[in-house]
């Protein structure tokens, strides 16, 4: 039987508890998950963490998930899926407002790579409001971000964002 490989793309600047929830849930659905740190061209120049730092933060959070790996890519997601043999792209949805943009991306990826399907996972109500942007804002205003990010990276994130 063919290995079912999925990719979970995002900017992860930084990875949140919501992201980790989607990673954990998708790791039960597929044989292999590749978390792919990508550049969102609408956010260029506003990243708090380098690509390498984002990859390392994610790795610190997934040590107990043997079928999850981390990579980065600077091209089209459809091409990355083809290159890795992935047949699915996992996307987490927080609210209806996420759906329109994600749906458009799914249609484009399907056109560029007919072999790949996009799978949408709804965030739990506990994480629906979370975004990396909110984490950065709360931290910079001296709020407690430990409620919103994995405990494995709390100190790293606070130290970096307080600088």
- Options 60, 82, 94, 160, the catalytic residue: 94
Q: Active site includes 163?
A: no
Give the pLDDT confidence score for residue 46 in this predicted structure.
79
Q: With bands split at pLDDT 50, 70 and 90, how would you rate the model's confidence at 64? A: very high
Backbone angles phi, psi at 44, to 5 degrees: -50, 130
Over range 67-88, report the average pLDDT.
Answer: 97
More confident residue, 89 or 134: 89
CA distance 115 to 93: 22
Q: Tell me the pLDDT tens digit for each residue of 23-53.
A: 999 999 999 999 999 987 766 567 899 999 9
Backbone angles phi, psi at 97, to 5 degrees: -60, -30
Q: Active site includes 132?
A: yes
Q: What is the DSSP letter of 95?
A: S
Half-sphere exposure of 155 (CA within 13 A, CB side): 2
Q: List CB contacts of 154: < 8 A, sequence separation 6 or more.
A: 145, 146
Over range 59-65, report the average pLDDT.
Answer: 97
Q: Which token pair is 9?
A: 């793309």
- Options 11, 17, 26, 132, the catalytic residue: 132
Record the pTM: 0.93
Over range 88-101, report the average pLDDT.
Answer: 87
Q: Which token pair is 132?
A: 């990396």
In the sheet with 5-10, reading across from the earlier edge strand, the strands are 68-73, 32-38, 5-10, 88-93, 117-122
Q: Tell me the pLDDT tens digit for each residue of 95-148.
A: 777 788 899 999 999 999 999 999 999 998 888 888 888 899 999 899 999 989
Furthest C-alpha separation in the chain: 51
Q: Active site includes 19?
A: yes
Q: Active site includes 94?
A: yes
Residue 75 CB: number of other CB atoms within 10 A?
10
């Amino acid at each position: 039987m063919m290995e079912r490989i999925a990719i979970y793309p995002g900017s992860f600047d930084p990875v949140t508890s919501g992201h980790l929830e989607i990673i954990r849930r998708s790791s039960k659905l597929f044989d292999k998950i590749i978390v792919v740190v990508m550049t969102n061209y609408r956010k260029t120049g506003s990243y708090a963490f380098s690509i390498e730092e984002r990859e390392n933060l994610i790795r610190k959070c997934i040590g107990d998930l043997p079928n999850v790996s981390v990579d980065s890519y600077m091209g089209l997601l459809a091409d990355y899926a083809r290159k890795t043999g992935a047949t699915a792209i996992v996307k987490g949805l927080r609210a209806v407002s996420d759906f329109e943009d994600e749906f458009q991306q799914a249609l484009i990826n399907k056109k560029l790579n007919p072999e790949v399907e996009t799978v949408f996972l709804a965030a739990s109500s506990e994480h629906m409001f979370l975004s990396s942007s909110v984490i950065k804002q709360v931290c910079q205003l001296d709020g407690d971000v430990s409620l919103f990010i994995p405990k494995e990276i709390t100190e790293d994130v606070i130290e970096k964002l307080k600088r």
